[in-house]
Amino acid sequence: MFKAILIEKDADAYQVRLTELDDAQLPEGDVTVRVAFSTLNYKDGLAISGSSPVVRRFPMVPGIDLAGTVETSSHPDYKTGDRVLLNGWGVGEGHWGGLAQKARLRGDWLIPLPKALSERQAMAIGTAGYTAMLCLMALERHGLTPECGEVLVTGANGGVGSFAIALLARQGYSVIAATGRPAEADYLKRLGATTIIDRAELSSPGRALAKERWAAAIDSVGSHTLANVCAGTRADGLVAACGLAQGMDFPATVAPFILRGVSLLGINSVTRPYKERVEAWERLCTGLDLAQLDEITREIGLSETIPVAHELLDGKVRGRVVVDVNR
């Protein structure tokens, strides 16, 4: 038996509970992992609350991240005792995820846990840090360097935003952080932000073209915010879009793209090729000050996951939430 967060749905109710499950209930897969830590992401919050149709089959164990040790394996690349991690691949949506003490998965979804990281550190980084690194890698592939100018980060107090600031600052970029919580300005500056702006400057309908302000941006918000980010990007600038905290819509015009040559780069963190996932995690080991993880991270036990998921959706959580599934 193992403990798990379980989501069930029938014609009458959407139910989420902490329960005990039998190993025989685990889904199909060629690797069984004894999970040490998982995380609580925005998508997990949506799944647990039922406020958005994230879960595609029921019953479901949520949790899009996990790190742990291989218990059994018939996959050629993994053996009992190997330390592994997983981000994405639809776990927690269409396949049971990491908010449990055990997970059975396809080995092709896993990568080896970098030797420089503990399971807890890997989950302190999690999909949020991994996505932020994918954004930085995409911007760099398209020519961004610190000499190009300031980089804007929206959703700065969230997980992706926090890591984006830390990664950019460590690489020598000057970072503008957009936040709806001005009281957190000191936190953002400790991560490396040089300028703080109110998200209200970006979150309402704006002009097709605004004053040129930043050379590039990492946006995890979407909707009007992303439209205004593009409108304020300098000529030949770059915008990496990776989230939809404000909404999935994009109420913009083509003006920034055809009049200024702005490039909008879509970041899909869910199904990246193995080589790119490994590269991103290798870079995270050196591109982050691991001592900052405690600044960014809050740790909870599995039993606290459901109420904290609602706090996350209400915008009351700063940075990352790591879940110790064994307490």
282 within some domain: no
Co-location of 200 and 310 in the same domain: no
Sheet architecture: strand order including 214-219: 195-198, 175-179, 151-153, 214-219, 233-241, 263-266
pLDDT at 42: 87
Distance from C-alpha of 99 to C-alpha of 50, rounded to nearest angstrom: 16
Distance set, CA 163 to CA 22, 31, 104 (Å):
37, 30, 29
Asked if residue 256 and residue 157 are part of one domain, the reply reads yes
Domain count, the chain: 2
pLDDT score at 55: 95
Distance CA 44, CA 47 (A): 5
- 17-29: average pLDDT: 97
Quick check: is 108 in a domain? yes
In this prediction, residues 44-48 reach a mean pLDDT of 95
Q: Say yes or no: 73 and 105 in one domain.
A: yes
The predicted-structure confidence for 272-310, as pLDDT tens digits, reads as follows 999 999 999 999 999 999 988 988 899 999 999 999 999
Which helix (H) or strand (E) element contains residue 235? Answer: strand 233-241
Structure letter (DSSP) for residue 24: G
Beta bridge pairs of residue 67 = 37, 85
- Read off the pLDDT of residues 180-204 as tens digits, 9 standing for 90 and up: 988 889 999 999 999 999 999 999 9
DSSP state of 79: -
Task: Decide which of 131 and 320 is more confident.
Answer: 131
Q: How far apart are CA 294 and CA 290, in angstroms?
A: 8
d(CA 135, CA 267): 6
Question: Residue for token digits 């702005």?
Answer: 262
- State which amino acid sits at residue 141: R
User: What confidence category does residue 231 fall into, taking pLDDT thresholds of 50, 70 and 90?
Assistant: very high
130: β partners: none
- CATH number of domain containing 205: 3.40.50.720
Are 173 and 250 in the same domain? yes
Q: Supply φ then ψ for residue 205, to 5 degrees.
A: -55, 135
Task: Using alpha carbons, select from 291, 313, 303 the residue that is nearest to residue 124.
Answer: 291
Q: What end-to-end distance do the CA atoms of the chain give, in Å?
A: 15
323 near 36, Cβ under 8 Å?
no
- Select from 56, 221, 218 the least CA-distant residue to 150: 218
Distance CA 55, CA 46 (A): 9
| Same domain (yes/no): 140, 41 | no
* Domain-embedded: residue 262: yes
Domain that holds residue 172: 126-266
Task: Specify the pLDDT at position 183.
Answer: 87
Query: Would the CA dihedral through 110, 112, 116, 120 be positive or negative?
Result: positive
Q: Say if residue 222 is in the same domain as residue 132.
A: yes
